[in-house]
Structure 1
């Protein structure tokens, strides 16, 4: 199972970098989304995949006993998802505004001098 996830992480990183090297702003945004998802999967795999109980200490126990799932990678991934959603929403609005002003999504057209606009 972990080998499949590692291959998926590699594919997400490779396609994300490939998409970010394209000239289109939309492809740049898609590449950024893929890299974010690859980073989330990497945190998930590095945190260790264990099937166990939630880390809750019972009333009669003093310490955790047995196998339990680590909540730290899960909370880091949830935080990263919320931050990346905000970044994606901002980037989509910014992309739309740039497209309205320049009427193209080619990154080479953004390097024109201000006198031409």
Structure 2
């Protein structure tokens, strides 16, 4: 079954990406997923202020720079994994090297 590990990071975490120790934790985690043969895709994302938001307004579209965050966490990246079940996905989720300010959402991929 395929799951997305949706990584949410704090503003401080985005700044820590320049820290080799922090970055090396992510590299090691990604390599572990690859070596286990379960990673099917994914990507880290740049900081939220680099985003552009498109919203539908009736028949029109409104394009704005940057997101409008409603919380302390922002989308930092996503891993796509293929594992037998939710328990296996959760085992990998707890290994994600997030800080105490971040979180990981585990969500099944929509089967169509």
TM exceeds 0.5? no
Structure with greater proportional strand content: 2
TM-score scaled by length of structure 2: 0.29
Larger Rg: 1
Greater share of helix: 1
* TM-score, normalised relative to structure 1: 0.28
